[in-house]
Every structure is written in structure tokens, then in C-alpha cells.
Structure 1
Amino acid sequence: MDAERQESVTETIPLFPLQTVLLPGATLPLHLFEPRYRQLAVDLMTGTVPDRRFGIIAMRSSGVREVESPDHVHAIGCTALLGDSERLPDGRFDIVTRGERRFRLLEIDNGRAPYLVGTVQWVDDAPLPDGAGRAVEGLRDAALSAHAAYCDAAWHRDSWPVPGPETGPGPLSYLLAADCLLPLGDRQRLLEETQPLRRLRMVSRVLRREAGFLSKLRAVPAPPPELIQLGLPASLN
């Protein structure tokens, strides 16, 4: 499919607005307690929603209690694939999701289902420029070094698994960012960037900055609520 046609294709998917950003390839556990999102879980498991996929999109303000228009959320979100799930005795759900593909939100329909439904266009990375091999190698080394510095400052462990050389610059940038606790604004900017080399450069800069903060503060960052444990309410749903 050519870029022009791809840009014009739209689909509808269920939406789950959150005060966090899901990155492609990242894992996000969620605790679903509000009735409409319990229903979303049922629809995902029974096939009413095909392919066990829905969209996660970050809210622009923590003060928004009810998302009613695209203005209440960021323009770019990420689809989540439902993985493990557990229905609790009182009807709540603990689920684990994995980020897949970015989308641009065009419209929100709050009357089609108990939960929000969005009309979206898919957002893919631009191709790498010709002759980018040397630039990729340099940026990859810088990003891995920044990631190691962050992990050393944050978690104080001796070693971390290094992504293999087959991991391209686009997936690598998300993989490294997903492994660290970054502010929502930084994660959203990384999600929106469609130039893989620029995004890899952004990851290096952000991780170096955060590692410096942690070293100066001599503090270990607390995980966001979504990642503490599945048994606790993890989201404003």
C-alpha cells in the first residue's frame, strides 16, 4: 500500500484513555474496575472486539474526568494487544497488554458502545535515508550507553540484557524507553516521532538527563501506579 493511500485508510477501535503512554513493544498491566471497561474486557475475550486489540491514548490533563472529544487526549496513541487476563470474583479484571501500532485519533464516538470508540488512522515510521548505516551504528551505541547509565543510576544492577544487533533503530528506541520510568511528556514525544534516527537520538538525550537527575538526587524512581501490582486500581477508568 502506498503512503498516500495508507494515510487515507481509517478504522474504528475501542479506546481506553489513561494518564500514561503506551509505547510499541511495551507491556502494560491494567486493573479494570469501572463497568464499561469490564465490558470492554468481556468483548475482547469473546471476539465481539476482533483480534483482542484496543487503543490506549494519553489524557492531556489529570483534571479531565470524562473524555468527550479528541481535545481531551493527545492526538497519537498506541494499540494494545490483550494478553493474560483474570476475572476476579467481584467482576473486576486484571489484564496484561502489549503495545503494538501507533494511531492518530480523528473522532470519538461515546454512544456506540458502553466504552469510547475512536476513528483512527495508522501512523508508521518514515523509511531510513539511504546510506544511514554509519549513523545508525553511532546512534545505537549512544542509546545503549545512555540506557546503561540510566539503569545503573536507577536500579543499581550490574548488567542488563542488550538488544541484539538485528533490532532496528525504530524498535530499539521504544525498547529502551519502555524499560525506564520517563515523564509522560517525554514518552508522548517519543511516541509521536516518526523519524527512527531522530527518536533514537531523543532517547539517548532523555535517558542521560534522567540518569543525571537520579545520580544527583541519590534517589530511585518509584514505578507509576500502572506498574505497581495488578491487584490495585491502576487507572482512571
Structure 2
Amino acid sequence: MTDAIPLFPLGTVLFPGVVLPLHIFEPRYRALVKHLTQQPAERDREFGVVAIRRGTETGDHDGTTLYEVGCSAELRQVTSHPDGRYDVVAVGRRRFAVVAVDTDSAPYLRASVDWLPERSDPAELRQAETLVPSVLAAFRRYLRELAHVAGPDAVSPEAAQDQLPDDPAVLSHLVAASASLSVADRQRLLAEPDAAHRLRGELGLLRRETSLVAALSAVPAALTDFQVPAGVN
């Protein structure tokens, strides 16, 4: 099914279930938030987040290219300021593929999207469940190495207390969003068709990142601390 939704390009990748705080100051994205808050109560206040392949979050989007797969975000909290800015909190909801981008019908970008449900092949579901213990173990090793190198504050209290999910899909999204990965790495994980493929990819990435942290005695990229960082827009 193809739907039209507002589109919000960001320099990060959003995953289902992950919290996304944003500070909104550009006029076009103020208009987007205003549009969403004026929707009837029974309608979802949902917009699309797509990572920027080349370009910047601010300024003219001419020459900016976006990745083909994104994640919708549901607006949960909105704080308005007297000068028209907003602080908002959204939560990742469902993945989509961009079919076409509309630059003319609104002050902000809009896109026709096809929703990408998780593939539900029984064999892949069983494989995902089988992979969970290995990914949990690899993620915990990675977090311990981060804490050793960067200090305990580099790891969230939830991880430090071993409060990690064992649901394959939830775990795959949490690892992808919170490990110190590049946008390209995260984007590849977002585009995977199901949890089994994401978890298999994450095993290799976690081993690579753990080895890098141990070898360099430093974190090779900024930590996300179990949350997508606030975008500046």
C-alpha cells in the first residue's frame, strides 16, 4: 500500500521503537509540526524520517540525496516556544521505502512511500530466535569494552543493569540504534527484511567494533547511548 506522508531528512537513522528528540527551528519544519498537531485526535501524528546520503539537515535541500528506506516517527510530545520553535519527542514506528519525493505541494518535503512489514517466514523467525543469545553476548562484550575504555557513563543504566530485550525484533532495533556505527552501517541494517538478517549483520558489526575499541583504546565514533541523538533542524 502506498501512502503520502511528510518527510523529515536527518543525519541519522531511526529505527522502530527508538526515541527521537528534535529541536525544530527551520520554518518548513515548524510548518510540518503545526500540520501534525492540527490533525484530528483520532489520526496518527506520523511523519517519515530518512537519513541523508549526501547533503545537510539545514538549508536548501537542492543537491541533497536521501537513502531509499526510512522509518516513520509518531509525534508523542510537543513543546512550543514563543518565537515559533518547537521541542518535540517522537518514537520510531514502521519502516518504509520511498517511492517518490514531492518538493512542491507543501513547505516541507512529502513522499509517497510503500510500507515494509517485517518478513514473517517461519524459518527466518526460528533463526532470529536462535541468534538472540549470540547477539546478546556480543552486545554485552561490546558494552563492557566501551565501559572499560570510555568509562561507565558511556553505557546507559539499562545496559549496565543488564536490562536488554530478548525479543528478536526489539533487540535488533536496539543494537542497530545504540551501537557506535556509521550511518551507512545503520542504514544497511534498517533495510534488512527481517530480524534474522539484522541480527546476523549485527553479530559481525559488534565483533568488528569491539575489536576496534580494544585495539584503539578509544571509541571510534560518537556513542548514541541507547537513543537516537537529537536532530538540529
Instruction: Tell me by how many angstroms 1:142 deviates.
Output: 0.9
In 2, the alpha carbon distance for the partners of 1:118 and 1:131 equals: 31
- Check whether the contact 1:85–1:94 (CA below 8 A) recurs between aligned residues: yes
Counterpart in the other structure of 1:6? none
Alignment match, 2:170:
171
Stretch moving more, 210-219 or 55-64: 55-64
Paired AA for residue 160 in structure 1: D
Residue correspondence of structure 1 range 136-155 to structure 2 within 5 A: 136-155=128-147
CA contact 1:59–1:74 (8 Å) conserved in 2: yes
Q: Identity across aligned pairs (percent)?
A: 39
Match of 2:112 in 1: 119
Which residue of 28, 31, 34 corresponds with 1:36?
28
Asked if structure 1 preserves the Cα contact closer than 8 Å seen for 2:164 and 2:171, the reply is no
Residue 50 (structure 2) pairs with residue 83 (structure 1): no
- Asked if the contact 1:17–1:67 (Cα under 8 Å) also holds between the matched residues in 2, the reply is no
1:218 aligns with 2:217: yes
- Structure 1's unaligned 5+ residue stretches are 1-8
Q: Does the 8 A contact of 2:68 with 2:97 survive in 1?
A: yes
Offset, 1:31: 0.9
5+ residue gaps in structure 2? 153-159
Query: Matched residue pairs, number?
Result: 218
- When normalised by structure 1's length, the TM-score is 0.82
Superposed CA RMSD in Å reads: 2.5
Secondary structure, counterpart of 1:20 in structure 2: coil
Asked whether 1:204 is paired with 2:203, we answer yes
Summarize deviations over 1:64-100 as a string: whole Å, max 9, x none: 854359x811110100011122112321111111111
Corresponding residue for 1:4? none
Match of 1:5 in 2: none
